């Protein structure tokens, strides 16, 4: 009991110090002309080999590996971005780019792509992503390395996880955390 007044004092100190830190960080980011943006999207793929697939092999050195991740494979894709996991939901953009099977364990691919927005507030703008997609379960994290239009000079990261699909399709949920520079 005797120590209780002094420990509540230090709690107050840390509380106010913490609030001050959050406030200072916020002011710094406003002052430097950046803001944070969160986008929640769904990626709809038609698989490699399916009729009208939105993913094709440019190089196929290894067959029958998860997500085509065989070492040395090169896959080119132009997938649809939609508002929800429902294939009938509004299309808001495309995911266009390529991935290279870059792991001897054949369980990941290095991707380079653009999320190109074709509707809504960000129509005509794009985000540039670079990073690894893993086929070993859990979310994959990739870096946002730039953008165009309203996303010029963007930075941040995108988390991707599989949330559905059929034998011909795969649906991914994307959470994008974007540090955006004001125009
Ligand atoms: C997907 O499954 C359906 C029936 O379950 C089958 O007719 C079709 O050929 C399969 N497609 C692929 C690409 O395996
Ligand atoms: C593939 O595309 C063609 C031409 O757009 C279309 O007629 C056909 O129904 C499509 N097939 C599938 C399985 O989506
Ligand atoms: C997106 O922008 C293009 C080019 O400005 C325009 O033609 C198109 O109608 C827009 N799409 C939507 C859904 O607003």
- pLDDT tens for 13-51 read 444 444 444 444 444 444 466 789 999 999 999 999 899
Token pair for residue 159? 């988390």
Cα(first)–Cα(last) distance of the chain, in Å?
Answer: 56
Counting from 1 in the atom list of ligand 2, the atom nearest the Cα of 50 is 13
Q: Report domain 35-181's class.
A: mainly beta
Atom of ligand 2 nearest to the CA of 46: 14
Minimal-distance CA residue to ligand 3 atom 9: 119
Chain center to CA of 11: 37
pLDDT per residue over 105-117, tens digit each? 999 999 999 999 9
């Amino acid at each position: 009991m005797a120590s209780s007044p002094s420990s509540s004092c230090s709690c107050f100190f840390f509380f106010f110090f913490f609030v001050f830190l959050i406030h200072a960080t916020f002011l710094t980011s406003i002052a430097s002309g950046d803001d944070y943006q969160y986008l929640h999207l769904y990626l709809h793929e038609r698989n490699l080999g399916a009729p009208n697939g939105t993913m094709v092999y440019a190089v196929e050195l290894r067959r029958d590996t998860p997500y085509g991740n065989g070492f040395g494979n090169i896959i080119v894709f132009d997938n649809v971005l939609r508002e929800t996991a429902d294939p009938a939901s509004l299309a808001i953009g495309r995911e266009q780019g390529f991935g290279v099977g870059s792991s001897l364990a054949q369980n990941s691919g290095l991707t380079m792509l653009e999320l190109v927005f074709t509707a809504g507030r960000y129509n005509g703008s794009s985000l540039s992503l670079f990073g690894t997609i893993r086929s070993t379960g859990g979310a994959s994290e990739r870096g946002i390395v730039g953008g165009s239009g309203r996303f010029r000079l963007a930075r941040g990261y995108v988390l991707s996880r599989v949330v559905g699909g059929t034998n011909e399709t795969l649906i991914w949920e994307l959470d994008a955390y974007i540090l955006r520079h004001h125009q």
